[in-house]
Amino acid sequence: MSTREAFANVVGTIAILTSIATYSSHAAVVDPSTELGAAGPAFWAVLDNGHFNLSNPNGFIHGNVGEATGSFTDGGSAGVSGTIFLGSGVGHNTVAGDVLVLNSTLPASALTQANVAAAYYNGLAADFTTPPSAGAVTPGVYKISGNWSPNGGTYNLTPGQIYVFDISGDFKPSTAASALLFNDSTPWDVIFNVGGKVQSTGGSSTFPNLDGILLAQDSISLTPGFVAGEIISQTSINIASQGAVQGITVPDRFDTIILLGLATVTLLVLRLKLICPQ
């Protein structure tokens, strides 16, 4: 294991443990970026647990990518601008310029935390039991039974407010006859917590644009589709036909979390040395 990978694994593990310890008790709805902790958009643009494929020449991923198991294929001309963390035994087919960290434990650890977050959001009480319509969307928890297939329209979400879309079935955004936009200038506050798969479709010049975090228990396909935030799948991810993921800059509270985690570990080591002197 390289020094770089070892350091990354230690920092990632500390962040995960710190986020779990800090946010294990919820008095109110927690924003997705905080609840996801080290699985969130402050660290990743893409997290996957099966097979990842970027096959189109015009698609791209801006941010870090984690593949815990299976295989990773980057066939895009724009490729991945961040670091690609691959778990032990993950096969890979990459392009020039891709930066790899092999045999990393970070993707699997992050996906475990993502499952904790999914369970948390599944357990929230509903503010609304039907999908919102296009236009101004009221913040809150939307419990959507079955599939949700928004086809065209602009959904304006209020910046700085938390939106939870719990979808028990599949989420199938499509442009249909007009563009489909989920607009939010603070996408780390928005989560599409999908029990099934995500299938984004549209034309080559107009396709779904989603601000937020897609967390799916099944596969994610952006063919095409544009996500400003993060995509997480426990099964597989396919990005084609100008599909793309734009990682985001989350407010720096996570720097504080990591520093607190490092400080905590340091204090524990010092305490052990005092209790058990050599």
Cis peptide before 57 (omega within 30 of 0): no
**In degrees, to the nearest 5, what angle opens at C-alpha 79 toward C-alphas 111 and 231?**
30
Domain span including residue 236: 3-275
Phi, psi of 6 (to 5 degrees): -60, -45
* Contact between 70 and 92 (Cβ < 8 Å): no
Per residue in 68-92, pLDDT tens? 999 999 886 667 899 999 999 999 9
Residue 142: the pLDDT is 98
Within 8 A by CB and 6+ apart from 140, the residues are 127, 128, 162, 163, 164
Residue 253: the pLDDT is 53
| Number of structural domains the chain divides into | 1
Q: Which residues of the chain have pLDDT under 70?
A: 1-27, 57, 76-78, 252-278
Three-state secondary structure call for residue 244? strand
Per residue in 186-237, pLDDT tens? 999 999 999 999 999 887 778 899 999 999 999 999 999 999 999 999 999 9
